[in-house]
Amino acid sequence: QVQLVESGGGLVQAGDSLRLSCAASGHPFSSYDMGWFRQAPGKEREFVAAIAWSGIVTYYADSVKGRFTISRDNAKNTVYLQMNSLKPEDTAVYYCAAKGATMAKYLYWGQGTRVTVSS
């Protein structure tokens, strides 16, 4: 079992930056691939970014590439999402998720943190 707790959301203006954090507890954090997803009002949840257990490989949705950066600190059991040049369309609840390195689906999810970007 892995417990995930997100933090760092808030209300910002377009062009501002935010850094989301996701603190993990339970099974050794360093063995899990980690991802960030988001769900905007009235829309399906979508993939934002992911980072492999090693921290070496990262993936991004086209909509955030070049603006968002995912990173992890295995010593602190924490994954981060640095979000720069925020746009109103980035408004959503952001969720952290974890999966085993050999698994296809994310198994563990946090409760989410809300990000609102005003124009």
Q: Tens place of pLDDT for every residue, the chain, 119 residues? A: 899 999 999 999 999 999 999 999 987 888 899 999 999 999 999 999 999 999 899 999 999 999 999 999 999 999 999 999 999 999 999 999 999 888 889 999 999 999 999 99
**AA letter at 92:** A
Would you say 101 and 56 are in contact if contact means Cβ atoms under 8 Å apart?
Answer: no
DSSP 88: G
101 vs 92: CA distance, rounded Å? 27
**19, 20, 26, 27 alpha-carbon torsion, rounded to 10°:** -70
Pairing of strands 32-39, 58-60: unpaired
